[in-house]
Amino acid sequence: MAFPKKKLRGLVAATLTPMTENGEINFPVIGQYVDYLVKEQGVKNIFVNGTTGEGLSLSVSERRQVAAEWVTQGRNKLDQVVIHVGALSLKESQELAQHAAEIGADGIAVIAPFFFKSQSKVRAEELLGGIQEKIPTFQGLKFSDTDLLDFGQCVDQNHQRQFALLFGVDEQLLSGLIMGATGAVGSTYNYLGKKTNQMLEAFEQKDFTSALNYQVTLSYPHLPAQSSYTEKPCFGVSQTKAIMTLVSGIPMGPPRLPLQKATQEFTAKAEAKLKSLDFLPFPGIKGGNLGACS
Ligand SMILES: CC(=O)N[C@@H]([C@@H](O)[C@H](O)[C@H](O)CO)[C@@H](O)CC(=O)C(=O)O
């Protein structure tokens, strides 16, 4: 595997898997998607086949094809392509990891087991301790949890700065940066990458008033409030697909699994909220393609 020449930093878009109206993967638009991320959003790192990419709803064969297409289309355009290879079957994970290496991906990421899971919460900080002895190629962590105490302890463990600590809750990225995140992986960077990069710049320049203004404007007007982010990640794929289609003009199609109930009521609310983000060229949301969490 061609492991990262440089540490993964900055924004990483958790890519959607574009689909046709029949639910088949829409491979021909992936090239256009790469150009859109690079040219319009200033995002040059991607995380493929994760939650946002519906990796676990795709067959192994589809996951291989999607990974290969992103690597091919991203060549000489993207900085790093990370392929998520987690699966419930260890064999499938190994196959996908091997394949990622063969196609020249820059790295792989793996979700922890989630079906037979332990009774108590496994803290990311516990996982980091001594991990390089077990996984010599370990590069970093995507922290998709709102527990900033745990994240802070990961930062503390990473005092030699050997790992990339990528924050995965877009709504809390500013807090993650303050705690020491070295970058971020998220769904909203597909369509809010440029604005989020401005937040990163404001943060770098220690202009915290502007940074906070960006954070609040970017996340809170259009992402539904979550009381339990990780147990009910309601900002669903169907919503992200609908928004990305509107903003980029590239058809993302429906989600593979109808995980969200499409409701006219939610659509109307989202449209009003999105219009309040005056930097987004929303022509208006038509139809019931947005979903509220079921
Ligand atoms: C639970 C979830 O989907 N989290 C998203 C966030 O980007 C999330 O969509 C965002 O914070 C909006 O709620 C990412 O952490 C997911 C991600 O990196 C992935 O697609 O694997």
Tens digits of pLDDT across the chain (294 residues) = 445 567 899 999 999 999 998 889 999 999 999 999 999 999 999 999 999 999 999 999 999 999 999 999 999 999 999 999 999 999 999 999 999 999 999 999 999 878 887 778 889 999 898 898 999 999 999 999 999 999 999 999 998 888 999 999 999 999 999 999 999 999 999 999 999 999 999 999 999 999 999 998 888 766 765 555 454 444 578 778 888 888 888 999 988 876 444 444 555 555 666 666 654 544 443 333 333 332
Pick from 265, 251, 272: which is nearest to 293 by CA?
Answer: 265
Shared domain for 177 and 110, answered yes or no, is: yes
Which helix or strand (DSSP H or E) is residue 48 part of?
strand 45-48
> Does a structural domain hold residue 128?
yes
Atom of ligand 1 nearest to the CA of 172: 11
Asked which of 172, 197, 224 is the last residue of a domain, the reply is 224
Which helix or strand (DSSP H or E) is residue 94 part of?
helix 90-103
> Does a structural domain hold residue 1?
no
Q: How far apart are CA 187 and CA 192, in angstroms?
A: 9
Asked which of 224, 259, 282 is the last residue of a domain, the reply is 224
Shared domain for 214 and 236, answered yes or no, is: no
Query: Which residue is closest in CA terms to ligand 1's atom 15?
Result: 168
Where does residue 184 rank: exposed (0-12), middle (13-18), buried (19+ CB within 10 A)? buried
Question: Could you tell me the distance, in angstroms and rounded to a whole number, from the CA of residue 261 to the centre of ligand 1?
Answer: 19
52 assigned to a ligand binding site: yes
Q: Which domain holds residue 248?
A: 225-294
- Provide the whole-model pTM: 0.89
Query: Which residue is closest in CA terms to ligand 1's atom 6?
Result: 186
> Does a structural domain hold residue 22?
yes
Q: What is the pLDDT of residue 102?
A: 98
CB atoms within 10 A of CB 220: 12
Shared domain for 139 and 282, answered yes or no, is: no
Q: What is the pLDDT of residue 20?
A: 93
- Number of domains, the chain: 2
Ligand 1 mutation target, pool 82, 144, 219, most atoms within 8 A of CB: 144
Asked which of 206, 224, 242 is the last residue of a domain, the reply is 224
Contact 185, 176 (CB under 8 A): no
Shared domain for 148 and 285, answered yes or no, is: no
Q: What is the CATH number of the domain that holds 45?
A: 3.20.20.70
Tell me, using a 6 A CB cutoff, whether residue 144 lines ligand 1.
yes
Shared domain for 209 and 293, answered yes or no, is: no
Shared domain for 55 and 153, answered yes or no, is: yes
